[in-house]
Amino acid sequence: MKDQIKTRYGHTAKDIAQDFAEHLKYSQDADMYHTTQEGRYTALALTVRDRIIHQWNLSRKTQRQQSAKRVYYLSLEFLMGRAMTNNVINLGLEGPVREALASLGYTYEELSEMEPDAGLGNGGLGRLAACFLDSLATLEIPAYGYGIRYNYGIFRQQIKNGWQAEQPDNWLRDGNPWEVLRPDVVYPVQFGGEVRVIRERGKDQFKWIGSETVHGIAYDTPIIGYGCKTVNTLRLWSAKSPDEFDFHEFNDGDYTEAVRSKISAENLSQVLYPNDTQYMGKELRLKQQYFFVACSLADIIRRFKRENKSWSLLPDFAAIQLNDTHPSLAVPELMRILLDEELLDWDSAWDITTRTLAYTNHTLMPEALEKWSLPMLAKILPRHMQIMYEINHRFLQQAVSYFPLQPQMLGKISIIEESNPKQVRMANLAIIGSHSTNGVAALHSELLKKQMFPQFNLIFPDRFNNKTNGITQRRWLLASNPKLADLIKSAIGDAWITDFSKISDLKAFAADKNFLLDFKAIKEENKVRCAAFLKTESGMIINPHSFFDVQVKRIHEYKRQLLNALNILLIYNDLKNDGEATKNMESTTFLFGGKAAPGYVNAKLIIKLINNIAKVINVDPVTRDRLAIHFMPNYRVSMAEIVIPATNLSQQISTAGTEASGTGNMKFMCNGALTIGTMDGANVEIAEEAGKENMFIFGHTEEQIAKLSHTYDPFSVVMADDEIKKAIDLLFSGYFNVNEPNIFEPLRRSLFEEGDRYYHFADLRMYSDAHRKARELYAKDSTEWNHRAVLNVASSGKFSSDRTIAEYAKDIWNIQACPVAKDTDEDTALQDARKRK
């Protein structure tokens, strides 16, 4: 029968409409009195999910039958954003889904916009993990992401009287149609207690008897490859109390105490810590780290044991990548499993552990390096502490020969810092316990070797390597900028979707008049879309025809939102004085977005400062037609998808040597923004690819900053530049905080009394000049501007996470693709059910 409706797997609009209607009725129990937009969104998500399940099954089966090596990406953060649009595109279902919904009187947009972001991350590190999952599936590499299923993701940011206020992000409130609970995949995780030594057959065996047990239960989310049939898995652990009730206490009559202890066990997966690039030595955080490492390793080991292979072959079946030091307890945990449970000898266990694990470093900032108090670690993980002592002892014995007569060097590379109390350095543990340590951009990886870990580089010269970050062009161009994607397809075809090096074919169109006109029109349309979004979202009124100058990223002093704000003051003063620097300036909208860690006082004050400046400048009759500043509340993935395609100028202005890579810079580049930036992180490589002449590069280089650091005096720099001095006087005169005296004192102190750690004033004049050049080019020669923007898009091929993942696969994981066939006989549900009985 030609027209037979294939619910659950058919790919026509008819099939999808039928399935959607059935889910609405039978999964949602919607009727004319109980029908909501949320219900319709869920019905659509379930309809799409039905079309994933079969290939997901088949992917697992194929990988298992072929005994494929798998990559395990361990990350405390996965900043996934929304799943719907990405899944529909990767399944190739956008046309039929739109048609199906239209036939029922709904639009795809209204339903897909109901989905809350999965905000299980802070910023770049978590978003990198999400892009990597997309690339792994698309490259058909068998892979699992492992993390925590936080009940509360990154907080929702509100702005109240200019200040950041944090609201809980209850993203699971209406249920999550994309996840599948696996009640059979559950592991006990121990904490505390003591280690007993049992002498058996002339050997000491160590047995850890924990005093507390928490269960980790798996929730799986499918990760769909584009243009292939691979569906991988993101497996997130949720903490469960092992007993529904503690029967002992229940029988004692203390019912509420029993329930309370259940809740406290389940605290482990309650909330994501909202700190980006600064660590917090909190006990609950350490427990979260061990919880997800223990569950993930138990799962990996269970899968390996099915193979019935010798333990020495574990590295041929599993490559475990540690996303920062957050999962670095994998080193002693894998050792503990091999030594205490599988009874291997130390040398074999150590060889297997180091050959299986690899570590990615994400920052050079000392305050981000994780160090746990040794007494706390010893209390929570007594057996792991013993193992780490032994690892350290053996390592230092081997290292001593590298540093004759330099015992202080051993102090630097020791896992234990001899402070009071002693601290355990997790980066040292991760480097020593793995076969690869990589940085995330060329400059960062060099600084890791030369500045951060020179002693380790001497001992392990082959361990250090670079893997420049990337982003998935499927989410960040194809899905988020459909109009530009269509224009690119009409020019060069669609091979770039899975081979982003092909985007360079666009260079042939960078001087094509018609192409440039289309490109310009699309940027305008994206600005209109962005302005409408911001109006709906937060009531902001912005001029869609103005120049969009955007800085969106976590708020941090090293990222220098304050430098941007200071330059805005220079522009404001110049406009007021009819100055030369703003003579032909186009109407400009400065957009800021980003969350500050709730305990980071100066970052929160920078948000307040931006809002106060905006409040004054946006209503100043002298400047308001030409200058506007807005802080967009609650920056997140789904906002980035709207704002980035609308941007003219991308602000990437961190102090050289502080931003490990940056990935926002790459998203803007492939969406046709020009970059104003320092030679920091991946900006260096962006300049290499696009040509410095097609960017606005300014400021001290990392080497120049290092030199300057001995003599830098921010006060004298300010005094030597009259315009800067006037801007600073205005800022600290109370002009922007008339009824809030002295609130910006901490920022003044940090800039002048505490030495301006991030060199704002060393770079401000050069920044201001570079920004003026950008404004003047945009105002005088929009054709040249668009020409350069297209050249940037055409030069962004290197910054695909497909390229990054291909490098990890070859250099670190030694893993190949495992293609999954398309199963033609999809309707096997009934047969499967019979077979399993």
Ligand X SMILES: *Cc1c(COP(=O)(O)O)cnc(C)c1O
| Bridging pattern class, strands 464-466 and 547-552 | unpaired
Instruction: Measure the CA–CA gap between 360 and 445, rounded to whole angstroms.
Output: 10
Q: Which is nearer to ligand X, 84 or 387 (CB)?
A: 84
- CB 235 within 8 Å of CB 146: yes
Q: At what angle do helices 94-103 and 13-22 cross, to 10 degrees?
A: 60
The CB-of-800 to ligand X minimum distance in angstroms stands at 14
Q: How far is the CB of 124 from ligand X (least distance, A)?
A: 4
Q: Which amino acid appears at position 418 of this protein?
A: E
Q: Is 378 helix (H, G, I), strand (E, B) or coil?
A: helix
Alpha helices in 66-90 (DSSP H): 84-90
SS3 306: coil
Catalytic residue among 326, 467, 523, 554: 554
Q: Contact 346/319 with Cβ under 8 angstroms?
A: no
Q: CB-based contacts of 484: which residues, under 8 Å, 6+ apart?
A: 477, 519, 522, 526, 645, 671, 672, 793
* Exposed / middle / buried, residue 57 (Cβ in 10 Å: 0-12, 13-18, 19+): middle
Name the minimum Å distance from CB 665 to ligand X: 6
Q: How far is the CB of 643 from ligand X (least distance, A)?
A: 10
Q: What are phi and psi of 757, to 5 degrees?
A: -55, -25
Cβ-Cβ contacts under 8 Å for 150 (sequence gap 6 or more): 120, 269, 270, 271, 272
Chain center to CA of 351: 31
262 labelled catalytic: no
Distance CA(423)–CA(68), nearest Å, equals 39
Looking only at the bridges linking them, the beta strands covering 547-552 and 423-425 are: unpaired
Query: Could you say which of 362, 371, 556, 787 is catalytic?
Result: 362
Q: How far out from the chain centre does Cα 128 lie?
A: 4
Q: Which two tokens stand for residue 39?
A: 């219900």
To ligand X, the closest distance from the beta carbon of 81 in angstroms equals: 7
What is each CA distance from 200 to 27, 204, 206, 749, in whole angstroms?
A: 57, 6, 10, 64
AA identity, residue 759 = Y
Is 810 labeled as catalytic in the residue annotation?
no
Shortest distance, position 125 Cβ to ligand X, whole Å: 8
Residue with Cβ nearer ligand X (362 or 636): 636
The radius of gyration computed from the CA coordinates of the chain, to the nearest angstrom, equals 28
- Name the residue nearer to ligand X (CB basis): 516 or 555: 555
Choose between 167 and 310: whose C-beta lies nearer to ligand X.
167
Catalytic residue among 8, 449, 667, 700: 667
Residue closest to ligand X (Cβ)? 664
CA-to-CA dists, residue 830 to 5, 11, 219, 504, 836, angstroms = 17, 20, 25, 49, 10
Q: Which residue has the tokens 């080991």?
A: 301
For ligand X, the closer of residues 214 and 610 by Cβ is 610
Q: Which is nearer to ligand X, 269 or 663 (CB)?
A: 663
CB of 600 to ligand X, least distance (A): 15
Minimum CB–partner distance for residue 127 and ligand X (Å):
4
Rounded CA gap, 388 and 382, in Å? Answer: 10
Catalytic residue (choose from 221, 663, 675, 804):
663
- Catalytic (active site) residue 363: no
Q: Does residue 667 have an active-site annotation?
A: yes
- Is there a catalytic annotation at residue 663? yes
Q: Examine the residue annotation and report whether 559 is marked as an active-site residue of this protein.
A: yes
646, burial (CB in 10 Å: exposed 0-12, middle 13-18, buried 19+): buried
- In the complex with ligand X, which residue's Cβ is closer, 365 or 730? 365
* Between 383 and 475, CB nearer to ligand X: 475
What is the closest distance, in whole angstroms, from the C-beta atom of residue 442 to ligand X in the complex?
16
> Which residues contribute to the site for ligand X (CB under 6 A)?
123-124, 127, 553-554, 636-637, 640, 662-664, 667
Name the residue among 114, 116, 120 with its Cα closest to residue 44: 114
Which is closer to ligand X, CB of 327 or CB of 664? 664
Instruction: Answer whether 334's CB lies under 8 Å from 297's CB.
Output: yes
CB 633 to ligand X: min, Å: 13
Residues 6+ apart with CB under 8 A from 288: 76, 148, 268, 269, 273
Cβ-based nearer residue to ligand X, 82 or 326? 82
Token look-up 């953060």 returns: 77
Q: Active-site residue numbers?
A: 362, 553-554, 559, 663, 667
